[in-house]
Amino acid sequence: MSPVLRLDGATAAETLVALQKSLVERLGDGAAEHLVAAGRAGGGSALTALGASGEDAVRRLIAMGTAIGWGEFSLEHLDGRRFVVAIRHSPFADAHGPSPAPVCHVTRGVLERVAEAVFDAPARVTETACAATGAPLCRFEARA
Protein backbone atom coordinates (compact mmCIF):
# COMPACT_ATOMS: atom_id res chain seq x y z
CA MET A 1 0.00 0.00 0.00
CA SER A 2 1.38 3.41 -0.90
CA PRO A 3 1.57 6.14 1.75
CA VAL A 4 -1.18 8.75 1.89
CA LEU A 5 -0.17 12.38 1.64
CA ARG A 6 -2.01 14.57 4.14
CA LEU A 7 -2.05 18.31 3.71
CA ASP A 8 -2.27 20.62 6.68
CA GLY A 9 -4.61 23.62 6.55
CA ALA A 10 -1.91 26.01 5.37
CA THR A 11 -0.67 23.72 2.58
CA ALA A 12 -4.22 23.04 1.40
CA ALA A 13 -4.92 26.78 1.46
CA GLU A 14 -1.83 27.49 -0.64
CA THR A 15 -3.04 24.94 -3.20
CA LEU A 16 -6.56 26.40 -3.28
CA VAL A 17 -5.25 29.96 -3.51
CA ALA A 18 -3.03 29.01 -6.47
CA LEU A 19 -6.15 27.59 -8.15
CA GLN A 20 -8.09 30.71 -7.17
CA LYS A 21 -5.50 33.05 -8.69
CA SER A 22 -5.45 30.99 -11.89
CA LEU A 23 -9.26 31.12 -12.15
CA VAL A 24 -9.33 34.87 -11.50
CA GLU A 25 -6.67 35.37 -14.18
CA ARG A 26 -8.79 33.47 -16.70
CA LEU A 27 -12.35 34.30 -15.59
CA GLY A 28 -12.01 37.65 -13.83
CA ASP A 29 -14.23 38.54 -10.90
CA GLY A 30 -16.73 35.78 -11.78
CA ALA A 31 -14.24 33.21 -10.52
CA ALA A 32 -15.26 33.98 -6.94
CA GLU A 33 -18.68 32.39 -7.41
CA HIS A 34 -17.07 29.14 -8.63
CA LEU A 35 -14.98 29.04 -5.46
CA VAL A 36 -18.04 29.79 -3.32
CA ALA A 37 -19.78 26.84 -5.03
CA ALA A 38 -16.86 24.60 -4.11
CA GLY A 39 -17.08 25.80 -0.51
CA ARG A 40 -20.83 25.15 -0.48
CA ALA A 41 -20.19 21.56 -1.54
CA GLY A 42 -17.60 21.15 1.20
CA GLY A 43 -19.96 22.73 3.72
CA GLY A 44 -22.64 20.22 2.81
CA SER A 45 -20.19 17.37 3.33
CA ALA A 46 -19.10 18.84 6.66
CA LEU A 47 -22.71 19.12 7.83
CA THR A 48 -23.30 15.47 6.96
CA ALA A 49 -20.14 14.43 8.80
CA LEU A 50 -21.06 16.49 11.85
CA GLY A 51 -24.59 15.13 12.00
CA ALA A 52 -25.66 18.41 13.61
CA SER A 53 -28.30 21.01 12.91
CA GLY A 54 -29.29 24.48 14.03
CA GLU A 55 -27.02 26.38 16.37
CA ASP A 56 -25.14 23.19 17.19
CA ALA A 57 -24.09 22.90 13.53
CA VAL A 58 -22.59 26.41 13.57
CA ARG A 59 -20.70 25.81 16.80
CA ARG A 60 -19.38 22.42 15.71
CA LEU A 61 -18.36 23.70 12.27
CA ILE A 62 -16.45 26.56 13.89
CA ALA A 63 -14.60 24.08 16.10
CA MET A 64 -13.90 21.93 13.02
CA GLY A 65 -12.56 24.92 11.04
CA THR A 66 -10.04 25.67 13.76
CA ALA A 67 -9.12 21.99 14.16
CA ILE A 68 -8.36 21.51 10.45
CA GLY A 69 -6.15 24.60 10.30
CA TRP A 70 -8.44 27.05 8.51
CA GLY A 71 -7.65 29.74 11.12
CA GLU A 72 -8.81 30.63 14.61
CA PHE A 73 -12.61 30.68 14.34
CA SER A 74 -14.88 32.50 16.78
CA LEU A 75 -18.62 33.01 16.80
CA GLU A 76 -19.41 36.68 17.42
CA HIS A 77 -23.19 36.58 17.02
CA LEU A 78 -25.93 34.01 16.49
CA ASP A 79 -29.70 34.36 16.42
CA GLY A 80 -32.52 32.93 14.34
CA ARG A 81 -31.79 34.97 11.18
CA ARG A 82 -28.11 35.96 11.38
CA PHE A 83 -24.70 34.81 12.54
CA VAL A 84 -21.26 36.39 12.42
CA VAL A 85 -18.03 34.39 12.37
CA ALA A 86 -14.56 35.91 12.75
CA ILE A 87 -11.38 34.13 11.70
CA ARG A 88 -7.92 35.14 12.77
CA HIS A 89 -4.95 33.85 10.78
CA SER A 90 -6.95 32.65 7.78
CA PRO A 91 -4.53 30.57 5.73
CA PHE A 92 -6.44 31.65 2.60
CA ALA A 93 -5.86 35.35 3.25
CA ASP A 94 -2.26 34.67 4.32
CA ALA A 95 -1.51 32.56 1.23
CA HIS A 96 -3.18 35.06 -1.10
CA GLY A 97 -1.31 38.13 0.09
CA PRO A 98 -2.49 41.74 -0.30
CA SER A 99 -5.73 42.25 -2.20
CA PRO A 100 -8.10 45.18 -2.77
CA ALA A 101 -11.09 42.88 -2.11
CA PRO A 102 -11.86 39.94 0.21
CA VAL A 103 -10.43 36.60 -0.96
CA CYS A 104 -11.81 33.89 1.35
CA HIS A 105 -14.39 32.64 -1.15
CA VAL A 106 -14.21 28.95 -0.22
CA THR A 107 -14.79 29.75 3.45
CA ARG A 108 -17.70 32.00 2.46
CA GLY A 109 -19.24 29.11 0.54
CA VAL A 110 -18.91 26.70 3.45
CA LEU A 111 -20.55 29.20 5.79
CA GLU A 112 -23.30 29.91 3.26
CA ARG A 113 -24.25 26.22 3.11
CA VAL A 114 -24.22 26.00 6.90
CA ALA A 115 -26.37 29.16 7.14
CA GLU A 116 -28.99 27.63 4.84
CA ALA A 117 -29.13 24.53 7.01
CA VAL A 118 -29.27 26.52 10.24
CA PHE A 119 -31.92 28.97 9.05
CA ASP A 120 -33.77 26.37 6.97
CA ALA A 121 -34.01 29.03 4.26
CA PRO A 122 -31.89 30.51 1.47
CA ALA A 123 -29.02 32.47 2.99
CA ARG A 124 -26.32 34.87 1.88
CA VAL A 125 -22.90 35.23 3.45
CA THR A 126 -20.80 38.34 3.00
CA GLU A 127 -17.13 38.63 3.91
CA THR A 128 -17.27 42.03 5.61
CA ALA A 129 -13.56 42.12 6.51
CA CYS A 130 -10.56 40.24 5.13
CA ALA A 131 -6.99 40.07 6.35
CA ALA A 132 -5.82 40.17 2.72
CA THR A 133 -7.24 43.72 2.50
CA GLY A 134 -5.36 44.78 5.63
CA ALA A 135 -8.08 44.06 8.20
CA PRO A 136 -6.91 42.44 11.46
CA LEU A 137 -9.06 39.36 10.73
CA CYS A 138 -11.62 37.93 8.35
CA ARG A 139 -15.29 38.37 9.29
CA PHE A 140 -18.31 36.74 7.69
CA GLU A 141 -21.93 37.71 8.19
CA ALA A 142 -24.64 35.19 7.34
CA ARG A 143 -28.25 36.28 6.86
CA ALA A 144 -31.38 34.36 5.97
pLDDT in tens, 13-56: 788 888 888 888 898 878 889 889 999 999 888 888 888 778 88
pLDDT in tens, 48-96: 888 877 888 888 889 999 998 899 999 999 998 999 999 999 999 999 9
- Is 2 a domain residue? no
- Is 47 a domain residue? yes
29, 95 Cβ separation under 8 angstroms: no
Distance CA 130, CA 26 (A): 23
- Is 4 a domain residue? no
pTM beyond 0.85, yes or no: yes
* CATH value at residue 114: 3.30.1380.20
**Residue 96's closest CA among 6, 5, 23?**
23
Q: How many domains does the chain have?
A: 1
Distance CA 8, CA 83 (A): 27
- Is 94 a domain residue? yes
8 CB-contact burial (10 Å; exposed 0-12 / middle 13-18 / buried 19+): exposed
- CA atoms within 13 A of residue 116's CA, in its CB half-sphere: 13
- Is 3 a domain residue? no
Domain that holds residue 48: 9-143
The pLDDT confidence band at residue 128, using thresholds 50, 70 and 90, is very high
